[in-house]
Every structure is written in C-alpha cells, then in structure tokens.
Amino acid sequence: MSKIYAHLTLVIRSQISLLWSNGSTQSSIARTLNLHKSTVSRELKRNSVSGTYSPQRAHNIALRRRKIACSRPKALKPSLAALVKETLYL
C-alpha cells in the first residue's frame, strides 16, 4: 500500500458507519475502502460517543480539529523570540 495521506471525507466516514453498523470488522472495512486498518480504528475510537459512531458528527469534529491546528502559529514572532532568548541568558 503506498503512503498517500489524505483526510477522510464525509462520504468515506458514511461508508465506515454503514459497514460498521452492518457488523463488518475494522480490518474488512479497511480492505473494502482501501484504507489502513489503523485509520479505521482511530476514526472509530476518536469519534464514537458511548459506542455510537455518527459520520456527520465525526466530520464536524475533524473539521474543527483541523481548523484549530491550522490556526496555531508556526514559529515564534521575533519579539517573543528575543524575550525568550533574553530571559534564558539571565
């Protein structure tokens, strides 16, 4: 399996939900959707509430997580970097 990383879409999450509710195992879901079994496992674990998986809720949570991750600063601002450097030398 090649290493191509992509976010799960709402369609894929809906397929996971349908297969999972029909009693498919995580491994068989992964094979059917051409995903790694750990991707399916993490998706179900991360986004199930009281043992229930909702693809729409999971997708909304993932979008919120992605938005928060993208809004974090990637590097220190020069003023903050100078303050840290000055403080470390004290």
pLDDT of residue 35 exceeding 90, the answer is yes
pLDDT of residue 1 exceeding 60, the answer is no
Residues 9-31 have a mean pLDDT of 96
Phi-psi region of 24 (alpha: psi -120 to 50; beta: other; left: phi over 0): beta
Q: What band does 3 get if pLDDT is binned at 50, 70 and 90?
A: low
Element (H, E) at 48: strand 48-49
- How far apart are alpha carbons 20 and 31 in whole angstroms? 13
Q: How many angstroms from the chain centroid is the CA of residue 50?
A: 19
Beta bridge partners of residue 52, listed in sequence order:
49
Token couple for 30: 């992964």
